[in-house]
Amino acid sequence: MRDLLRILSRFWRASLAAELEYRVNFVFSTLNAALGLVLGLFALSLFFQNGHAFDGWSFDASLVVYGLFTTFSGISSVLFVPNLSRVVEHVDKGTMDFVLLKPVDSQLFVSTRNFSPWGLPDIALGLGVIGYAARRLDVDPGHVPAALLAALLSLIILYSLWFALASTSIWFVKVYNATEVLRGLLDAGRLPIAAYPAGYRVFFTYVVPVAFLTSVPADVLRGADATSWLAIEVVVAVLAFGLSRAFWRLSLRSYTSASS
Amino acid sequence: MTFLRRARAFLEVYYAYMLVYRSELLLWALAMSLPFISMGAWIKAADTGAFPLAPVEFGRYFLVVYLVRQLTVVWVVWEFEYDIVQGRLSPRLLQPADPVWHYVGGHVAERAARLPFTVVIVAFFFMLYPEAWFVPSWTETVACLALSLLAWVLRFVLQYAFAMAAFWTEKASSIEGLWQIGFLFLSGVVAPLAVFPEAVREVVLYTPFPYLIDVPVRALLGAPITLRDVLIPGAWLLVALVAQRLAWRAGLARYSSMGA
């Protein structure tokens, strides 16, 4: 555990130093996050005209979903996306050899090596929205620990999806575009799952588990009866993580280096 | 004649390039799934709430959004930024044609290479949702294609103008990122302008955004075209063109990459 923390702090300090060369990015990422939030909330409010609401979801409850979505996209751009593009680069340029030779678990190395601070404004704004909505909903503080657990499980699922995609680059090399496919599908998480027709709900629960990412934690937080969904989420998260690890091992077997 | 010969040379070269990346193009065609996600939510909302469009009209609207987006994709800022950073612009400056034609050639050729995938996805859509089947009249089709062409030219020139920032900073694409947020929410990709509140719609109609998606889409669905639908994007096009030319001259004067 101590080693793990030491490794992470070395990794992130090094990437932070590299990223801070582009300080203008901070202005852009803050503007991006703020503008995205304002316009995104506007788009969400369009569904609540003329007394319409999603099945069982008020505007405030949907705000929790939107806040979770914003937070998770922030975390993706801080950790998942920068590391994923690095995996693609390693495979493309043949530097994956050096990674595999290091005395650190290769999955740990490639999924934590990079850290990009430019998603932090999104995380801050997302948490702000969740907090605001929780106060308006008068959330029982007793639900918070379970909601945190659900959010943590969501992060594990999200990580596994990104990482499984990164693993495919061993076979297909350039998977930048596949990341766009995944990003496009994850966009469905902006709205509670109840906003979609039945066919969509099945797809976004069992094929691409978007429903677990934002709707389930939001349900747990507002105290809607979600215990069974939470239990299923535990299974999905464990399964997703295990599969991503197995998938990485499998793909590494096909890795044929570029230098040896 | 030289012009036609040049145009043919550019198109042939770039069409061949694009065919190398057919599988990538397939992923790009899939990546733009956002209109279909919005479609699901709006069809469901229109089923239960009072909105200006019926469910099947929402279905058609978002299908055509997908089509217009396929016709008007632009990525010149990333290519230009890369060419500046890598110094690839230098040899092109020596050629007897403005470097912009390389990018135009690539964009036009890609459209042709992408078309087959688009046709498959449209066929798939009507198989799943036969009630939405419709046949636009000739005039509607021509109006939509003409407005899409205008939208594409406008997006290209605007993005090329943003790309000029690459002469001064390494992150020209950040400006495009900011622009894309406005585009995403105000052009009609996540919700048709018809469901915007009156006051917001009036303001948004003075920005270039709705003319990139909503207006060409409605033209195919039979909405009448007004003079304003051409004049406002035309005015923005003029502004972007002047800005781009001025920035190009100033930028070239200080361009000092490899080989220049």
Round to whole Å and give the CA distance between A49 and B209. 23
Q: A50 and B51: CB-CB below 8 Å? A: yes
Residue B9 has pLDDT above 90, yes or no: no
CA distance B218 to B64: 9
Task: Say if residues A144 and A228 touch (Cβ distance below 8 Å).
Answer: no
> What pLDDT is attached to residue B253?
85
- In tens digits, chain A (260 residues) has pLDDT values of 788 888 888 888 888 888 877 777 788 889 999 999 999 999 999 999 888 899 889 999 999 999 999 999 999 989 888 888 888 788 777 788 888 888 888 888 888 888 888 889 999 999 999 999 999 999 888 889 999 999 999 999 999 998 888 888 777 766 667 777 888 889 999 999 999 999 999 999 988 899 999 999 999 998 887 788 889 999 999 999 999 999 888 888 887 776 55
CA-to-CA separations, A231 to A60, A142, A198, A217, in angstroms, rounded: 25, 18, 22, 12
A154-169 burial code (b ≥16 CB/10 A, e <16): bbbbbbbbbbbbbbeb
Task: Please answer yes or no on whether B43 and A187 come within 8 Å at the CB atom.
Answer: no
Can you tell me the ipTM of this complex?
A: 0.88
What does the alpha-carbon distance between residue A107 and residue A128 come to, in Å, rounded to a whole number? 32
User: Is A195 in contact with B185 (Cβ distance < 8 A)?
Assistant: no
Rounded CA-CA distance B255/B260 in Å is 7
How confident is the model at residue B23, as a pLDDT? Answer: 67
B15 in Cβ contact with B109 (< 8 Å): yes
What DSSP line would sit under A99-147, residue for residue?
A: HHHSSS-HHHHHHHS---GGGHHHHHHHHHHHHHHHHHHT--GGGHHHH
- C-alpha closest to that of A215 among A234, A184, A190: A190
Report whether B185 contacts A42 (CB < 8 A): yes
pLDDT of residue A174: 67
B16-46 pLDDT tens trace: 777 776 667 777 777 778 899 999 999 999 9
Q: Helix, strand, or coil here: A151?
A: helix
B81 contacts B237 by C-beta, under 8 angstroms: no
> Most A CBs within 10 Å: which of B185, B193, B196, B214, as the mutation test of the A interface?
B185
Least confident span in A201-210, B106-115, B133-142: B106-115
> In A182-201, which positions are buried (b, 16+ CB within 10 angstroms) versus exposed (e)?
bbbbbbbbbbbbbbbeeebb
C-beta of residue A193 within 8 angstroms of C-beta of residue A219? no
| Closest residue by Cα to residue A70 from A112, A32, A23, A117 | A32
Show residues of chain B in contact with A46, CB under 8 Å. Answer: 191, 195-196
CA distance A121 to A158: 19
Q: Is the pLDDT of residue B243 over 90?
A: yes
Q: What is the pLDDT of residues B167-206, one digit of tens each?
A: 888 778 888 889 999 999 999 999 999 999 999 999 999 9
- The CB density around residue B131, as the number of other CB atoms within 10 Å, is 10
Predicted confidence at residue B39, as pLDDT, reads: 94
List of residues 6+ apart from B246 with CB closer than 8 A = none
Per the model's pLDDT, the better-predicted residue between B28 and B226 turns out to be B226
Q: Does any CB of chain B come closer than 8 Å to the CB of residue A208?
A: no
> Where in chain B are the domains?
2-254
Interface contact flag, B24 A50, Cβ < 8 Å: no
User: Which residues in A lie closer than 8 A to residue B49 (C-beta atoms)?
Assistant: 47, 49-52
Which two three-digit tokens encode residue B93?
């400056």
In this predicted structure, what is the pLDDT of residue B173?
83
Instruction: Judge whether residue B64 has pLDDT over 90.
Output: yes
